[in-house]
Structure 1
Amino acid sequence: MSRRSSRDWDRRGVLRAVGGMAALGGLAACGSNTGRSGGGGNSIKQMYHAYGEPGTQQAARKFAEAYQKAEVSIEWVPGEYESKLATTLLGSDAPDVFEYHPDIQLVRSKQIVPLDDIIADVKDDFLPEDIKANSVDGKVYGIRMIDDPQFFFYRRSLLDKAGVKPPTTLDELIDAAHALTTDKVKGLNIGQKLKQVTKPLVWSTGAELVTADNKVGFHTEAVVEALAKTRELYKGDALLLGAPTDSWDPASFVQGLCAIQWCGIWAIPAVEKAFGDDYGIFPFPSSGEQGRPVVYNGGWSAYVSAKAKDVDKAKEFVKWLWLDQKQYQEEWALDYGFHIPARKSIAAGADKLRSGPAAEAVKLFNENGVFDDPLFTEGMFNTLLDAVTNSVRDDKSPESELDKAETRIGRDLKKLVG
């Protein structure tokens, strides 16, 4: 993990924008769809999770059809993309190219190949943290497609009416949640499963998921205290529980069900459409004496499967789409949903990121961005999530739950790095 002076996307799944639920549900239900179909060694199968933003599936097919050196088919996966991908990679019909998040397990199990040769000429056009997040043992395995910083959205008018300022500490966030709660509006939405806020909660205390010497870093007194405080918040009436969708979807915030919600930059268009300038954003606030504000950078990266029918051709396609075609990269990031293009040169020239909350999001990202560590695998995250959920929702001992998680994850880290 690295922090800029400073993958959830936490894996955020699909964004169902308000007013488009039926249409997006239909889009997700399409399942596998193809661009140009072909067979034999001159075909490439590319796998995406089902982005919910209107136009993304059509754009993926357009990009595939524009490629002239091979027939590219698109598999569009709704639902639990991570589990479907894991199963598919082990089978005989694995994709040649797929999107995912940094995960050392894919390297250790030899499921992906290094991409240093195709990124070498433009490596400096990516954030060093994005390169580091996709690197194992000095080799680059993923090409970052988009950056997805996550933070809290808040209604300015509701905070002003309650005399509440945007919180800068966890204690202030909890106080604000209670002060903003009415019989019609809950003060805070941090998600139904706590999945989106698990990593930020740890990082906000100043702790790491994995230390510099490859040990468990999340089992600290400050994390125990933060979990206890979050449990007290959960036991009260200030949290929005039972929302129709999880916090990656801005629907609850846009519908006025809560005054503050954890979400991501992708929600800006929907929130702006609903409230104009009556909203703002702030990082996950610091917690404890060594705490720090956190803007978690999710996002997606492109990988080439070691099982690709032709690894070199698959790498050439990734280079063409995610390195050479700057127009497509900006279009993918900003014409359908709302993300930061991974290429620094593209992001710097994007008009949509130069003003208003979008510019503030970029600023907060630059100042407080925290990135995934490929050593902290999906399995490790699920173990930590269980500990957080058990502590917060089920009122179990944070100390005991973190102790169990540390034992299990510590064992897994030893297997990966010795």
Structure 2
Amino acid sequence: MMMTISKSRRGVRTIAATAAVSVAALTLAGCGGPDAGNAGPSVQAGSGEGTINVWAVDGQAAENDALKKIIANFETSQNKIKVNLKLFPSDQYTKAVNSAAPGDLPDVLDFDGPTLASFVYNGKMAPLTGSVSQESLSNQTDSIKAQNTVDGAVYGVGMMNAGLALWGNKKLLDAAGVAYPTTPEKAWTAEEFTGVLDKLAAVVPGGKPLDLSEQYGFAGEWGTCCSAGPVIWSGGGTMLKDNKAAGALDSDANVKSLTTFASWKKYTDPNADGLAFPNGRVALSWVGHWTYPTYKTLGSDLVSIPLPNFGKGTKTASGTFAWGMGASTKNGAASGKFLDFLMSDESVRIYTDANGAPPATKTALAASSLYGPGKKLELLGNQLGKACGPEDQITETCVSVTRPVTAGYPIVTDQVGKAEAAIYSGKDAKEALSAAARAIDQNFADNDGYKK
């Protein structure tokens, strides 16, 4: 997945992780088969005291400082548990986890949502029930809970989430006479959106009013999670059905939706410098919450708008880094106490204030000064509250979709992203999607469907 879209591993990597993460997972997900030759999770509660080892990705300075502050607060709050934190460069982290035998993993580890199923498949992670309090588990928002659940068991808890929207420049929208929706239920249809682009093209410099965040690259995780994904789900399609891509990914619904998406290329500023929206070259920017610190320079002219509705309701991807336990920890009780502390309102507030992400706990989200009711980014918080769960649970009224929860996700995102890039460049959508479906299904067949 990832080009680094920002310096934050949790601002952009929340949804659009890195190519390095995907490649590492793709290389290793099928190595050794289920549990990678190990007996599987063997968590020991331990004494509830002592030192716990924690691994995490080295993020931007503000995130690192926030995490260290939270750890310091935890150690101050009691005197029986110490935390030994080890930070890894983002391009080395997933490889380090995949390369380690389960017994060599830390007690607590950071993970990017789409990698979880692969870690579970290879015996790296332990279910949290019995170690983390029910209060913490129940306080997770439905969208983050769906990401962190594999085969019915919860393996992770999240401090934050991520979401997508159209950022709009109200000054340019007003100049074009365009009224804009502010709730998911009133999202523009794809046809209406084309009409909006026609109107906006007449008032923006250069006649290209739309930014689709092409600078992130459609062929990577950005394409799967953040453009192709919402388009597919909104059109009533899926990437997989019954663990197969053929008939799902290359469905007529997906062909139609992605062809429509590609038709907007003529309205799109390539945004190579990343400044198309803040500099006023475009009126609309299809991107995530992480651009808010830059985009808020527009002041009262900055508005958030739901993504277009391709027929089955507007949809956004969700998902981000979360926290779990190593499969063979001997400090389950102490690790659970630490995870409970991470999920406290104060810890979540400290962390999400540092990186600007939406809180992933119900209580912190409701109290958020950015994403709570009546606040500036209420739309994004509202969308994440309307969780669909996995692809097979999508309805017209839900909004936030979890990317396919499968150990084979790396091959899915690799092929879906490449297919979208090809379609956007002019290739026949049916041909591109069918080729991607064949590659995915062959990989799944080679790995016994990634089933234990």
TM-score in terms of structure 2 length: 0.72
Query: Per the alignment, in what secondary structure is the counterpart of residue 42 of structure 1?
Result: strand
Match of 1:169 in 2: 189
In structure 2, which of residues 225, 234, 243 is the aligned counterpart of residue 214 of structure 1? 243
**Structure 1 counterpart of 2:322, one-letter code:** S
**Structure 2 counterpart of 1:244, one-letter code:** D
Separation in 1, partners of 2:424, 2:336: 47
In structure 2, which of residues 354, 358, 367 is the aligned counterpart of residue 340 of structure 1? 358
Cα distance change on mapping 1:402 and 1:264 into 2, 3 Å: same
CA contact under 8 A between 1:147 and 1:298: conserved in structure 2? Answer: yes
Aligned residues: 366
Match of 2:7 in 1: 14
Separation in 1, partners of 2:58, 2:212: 23
Aligned positions of 1:347-386 closer than 5 A: 347-352=365-370, 353-367=372-386, 368-375=399-406, 377-386=409-418
CA contact under 8 A between 1:391 and 1:397: conserved in structure 2? Answer: yes
CA contact under 8 A between 1:187 and 1:260: conserved in structure 2? Answer: yes
Cα distance change on mapping 1:232 and 1:343 into 2, 3 Å: closer
Query: C-alpha displacement at 1:379, in angstroms?
Result: 2.9
**Structure 2 counterpart of 1:50, one-letter code:** G
Aligned positions of 1:400-415 closer than 5 A: 400-413=431-444, 415=449
Separation in 1, partners of 2:155, 2:321: 13
Query: Per the alignment, in what secondary structure is the counterpart of residue 85 of structure 1?
Result: helix
**Structure 2 counterpart of 1:221, one-letter code:** D
Match of 2:232 in 1: 202
Match of 2:314 in 1: 293
Deviations 1:284-303 (A, max 9, x none): 2122xx43211322332112
CA root-mean-square deviation:
3.0
Deviations 1:232-284 (A, max 9, x none): 322x2x21214224xxxxx5422223211112233334433x12221222222
TM-score in terms of structure 1 length: 0.78
CA contact under 8 A between 2:231 and 2:261: conserved in structure 1? Answer: no
Cα distance change on mapping 1:241 and 1:94 into 2, 3 Å: farther
Query: C-alpha displacement at 1:417, in angstroms?
Result: 3.3
Alignment pair present for 1:70 and 2:82: yes
**Structure 2 counterpart of 1:215, one-letter code:** K
Match of 1:224 in 2: 255
Separation in 1, partners of 2:192, 2:338: 45
Separation in 2, partners of 1:12, 1:314: 35
CA contact under 8 A between 1:46 and 1:73: conserved in structure 2? Answer: yes
CA contact under 8 A between 1:145 and 1:299: conserved in structure 2? Answer: no
CA contact under 8 A between 2:140 and 2:360: conserved in structure 1? Answer: yes
CA contact under 8 A between 2:162 and 2:358: conserved in structure 1? Answer: yes
Match of 1:248 in 2: none
Separation in 1, partners of 2:67, 2:335: 17
Alignment pair present for 1:44 and 2:15: no
Alignment pair present for 1:132 and 2:140: no
Query: Per the alignment, in what secondary structure is the counterpart of residue 95 of structure 2?
Result: helix
Match of 1:391 in 2: 423
Cα distance change on mapping 1:311 and 1:185 into 2, 3 Å: farther
Separation in 1, partners of 2:424, 2:164: 21
In structure 1, which of residues 300, 306, 309 is the aligned counterpart of residue 327 of structure 2? 306
Deviations 1:133-179 (A, max 9, x none): 21122211111221212111111110111123336122333343343
Query: Per the alignment, in what secondary structure is the counterpart of residue 244 of structure 2?
Result: coil
Cα distance change on mapping 1:121 and 1:43 into 2, 3 Å: closer
Alignment pair present for 1:121 and 2:134: yes
In structure 2, which of residues 50, 54, 66 is the aligned counterpart of residue 59 of structure 1? 66
Query: Per the alignment, in what secondary structure is the counterpart of residue 321 of structure 2?
Result: strand
Deviations 1:15-74 (A, max 9, x none): 59xxxxxxxxxxxxxxxxxxxxxxxx93523212524xx622211222233443224224
CA contact under 8 A between 1:48 and 1:75: conserved in structure 2? Answer: yes
Cα distance change on mapping 1:242 and 1:360 into 2, 3 Å: closer
In structure 2, which of residues 339, 347, 361 is the aligned counterpart of residue 319 of structure 1? 339
Query: Per the alignment, in what secondary structure is the counterpart of residue 70 of structure 1?
Result: strand
Deviations 1:187-206 (A, max 9, x none): 11112213231211211211
CA contact under 8 A between 2:423 and 2:432: conserved in structure 1? Answer: yes
CA contact under 8 A between 1:61 and 1:74: conserved in structure 2? Answer: no
Query: Per the alignment, in what secondary structure is the counterpart of residue 118 of structure 1?
Result: coil
Percent of aligned pairs sharing the same letter:
18
Query: C-alpha displacement at 1:89, in angstroms?
Result: 1.4
Match of 1:101 in 2: 113
Structure 2 residues not aligned, in runs of 5+: 10-49, 76-80, 181-186, 387-398
Cα distance change on mapping 1:107 and 1:139 into 2, 3 Å: same
CA contact under 8 A between 1:60 and 1:74: conserved in structure 2? Answer: no
**Structure 2 counterpart of 1:349, one-letter code:** A
Query: C-alpha displacement at 1:332, in angstroms?
Result: 1.0
Alignment pair present for 1:276 and 2:299: yes
Cα distance change on mapping 1:108 and 1:76 into 2, 3 Å: closer
Query: Per the alignment, in what secondary structure is the counterpart of residue 336 of structure 1?
Result: helix
Separation in 1, partners of 2:339, 2:138: 15
**Structure 2 counterpart of 1:255, one-letter code:** N
Match of 2:35 in 1: none
Higher deviation after alignment, 253-262 or 349-358? 349-358
CA contact under 8 A between 1:98 and 1:305: conserved in structure 2? Answer: no
**Structure 2 counterpart of 1:46, one-letter code:** W
CA contact under 8 A between 2:205 and 2:281: conserved in structure 1? Answer: no
Match of 2:273 in 1: 244
CA contact under 8 A between 1:57 and 1:76: conserved in structure 2? Answer: no
Query: C-alpha displacement at 1:307, in angstroms?
Result: 6.5
CA contact under 8 A between 1:100 and 1:303: conserved in structure 2? Answer: no
CA contact under 8 A between 2:160 and 2:359: conserved in structure 1? Answer: yes
Query: C-alpha displacement at 1:328, in angstroms?
Result: 1.1
Match of 2:390 in 1: none
